[in-house]
């Protein structure tokens, strides 16, 4: 007799599992969903709960915001997940969010304003070299926050780090002599990424007596980028910092932190870097995920040709 397969063990972080398991039980008892569907729902919701934990939240569904869902979907897209699969995960999260409201565990539905991923995958929305230059050449003054912000932005763009990776770096992660940073990425995989001279210079300024030491508190650990309270910087704080710098640079369009990573890849490709090297620096498990940037570059070249060649368009 064939032994039945056991159910995969998808466990949400402590503090978030109770509501999740209650929801799965509701789907089972009240909706009568199939076992495989229940397994898929638990897996998808646990994955989102783990994302929230990695972002430094306290493990409470009441703290989740719409921007968290949007960032999670961007992360899934960066990993190469299809829009169809992402839409399925969002369906599970939508149902769960609505259930939390009905149960009185939240006053609002954190998925209400989130659009369903388009099945046709969009090209990454990058930043031009001119836009990045405007942001990174703004005067920062001599405040510890200003020095920290410049170092964060230089490193994010200069090494193509995910925001979650940037926020979890410690001081020992950076090898100043070799110009390298040790990054802990997806699936706890470690990779080594080059750090440019501008980022090294900004980091040294930040780590000088005028920078990080003035932000540190008695219980501050080894986190590289810290807040004014002496704790490791959060993804949300980085988002706020970027928005302020974009505003100061006079850039009118909306910019997401992940666009710095896209800019890193597209600018490398435009200047002759090979795809395998970019894949390694980005930490992509599959080269097909990195190949999307070749389409971005082809689109850019076509736009430039149409804009500048006298016989490219019929007027």
What are the catalytic residues?
Answer: 162, 186, 258, 261, 284, 293
H or E element: which one contains 175? Answer: strand 174-175
Decide: helix, strand or coil at residue 156. Answer: helix
Q: What is the per-residue DSSP string for 70-85? A: HHHHHHHHHTT--HHH
User: Is there a contact between 290 and 153 (Cβ–Cβ < 8 Å)?
Assistant: no
Sign of CA dihedral 151, 274, 186, 23: positive
Token pair 């209400």 in the structure block, residue: 112
β-strand pairing of 180-184 with 190-194: antiparallel
How many angstroms separate the Cα of 161 from the Cα of each of 4, 23, 75, 262?
A: 43, 35, 12, 10
Burial class (CB in 10 A: 0-12, 13-18, 19+), 135: buried
Residue 189 half-sphere exposure, CB side, CA atoms within 13 Å? 10
223 - beta bridge partners? 170
Give phi and psi for 229, each to the nearest 5.
-95, 5
Question: Could you tell me if 263 and 300 are in contact, meaning their C-beta atoms sit under 8 angstroms apart?
Answer: no
Q: What is the DSSP string of 271-283?
A: TT--HHHHHHHHT
């Amino acid at each position: 007799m064939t032994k039945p397969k056991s159910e995969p063990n998808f466990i949400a972080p402590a503090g978030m599992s109770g509501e999740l398991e209650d929801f799965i039980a509701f789907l089972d008892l009240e909706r009568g969903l199939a076992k495989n569907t229940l397994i898929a729902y638990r897996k998808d919701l646990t994955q989102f709960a783990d994302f929230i934990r990695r972002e430094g939240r306290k493990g409470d569904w009441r703290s989740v915001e719409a921007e968290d869902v949007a960032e999670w979907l961007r992360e899934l897209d960066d990993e190469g997940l299809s829009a169809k699969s992402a839409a399925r995960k969002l369906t599970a999260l939508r149902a769960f969010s609505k259930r939390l409201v009905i149960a009185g565990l939240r006053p609002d539905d954190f998925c209400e304003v989130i659009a369903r991923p388009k099945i046709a995958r969009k090209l990454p929305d990058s930043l031009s070299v001119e836009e990045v230059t405007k942001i990174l050449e703004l005067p920062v003054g001599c405040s510890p926050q200003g020095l920290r912000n410049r170092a964060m932005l230089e490193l994010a763009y200069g090494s193509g780090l995910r925001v979650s990776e940037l926020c979890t770096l410690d001081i020992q992660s950076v090898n100043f002599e070799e110009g390298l940073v040790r990054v802990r990425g997806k699936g706890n995989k470690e990779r080594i990424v080059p750090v440019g001279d501008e980022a090294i210079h900004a980091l040294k300024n930040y780590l000088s007596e005028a920078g990080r030491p003035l932000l540190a508190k008695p219980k501050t650990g080894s986190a590289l980028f810290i807040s004014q309270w002496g704790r490791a910087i959060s993804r949300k704080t980085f988002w706020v910092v970027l928005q302020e710098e974009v505003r100061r640079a006079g850039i009118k369009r909306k910019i997401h932190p992940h666009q710095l990573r896209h800019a890193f890849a597209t600018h490398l490709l435009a200047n002759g870097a090979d795809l395998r090297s970019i894949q390694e620096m980005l930490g992509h498990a599959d080269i097909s995920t990195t190949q999307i940037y070749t389409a971005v570059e082809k689109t850019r070249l076509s736009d430039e040709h149409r804009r500048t060649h006298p016989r490219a368009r019929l007027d």
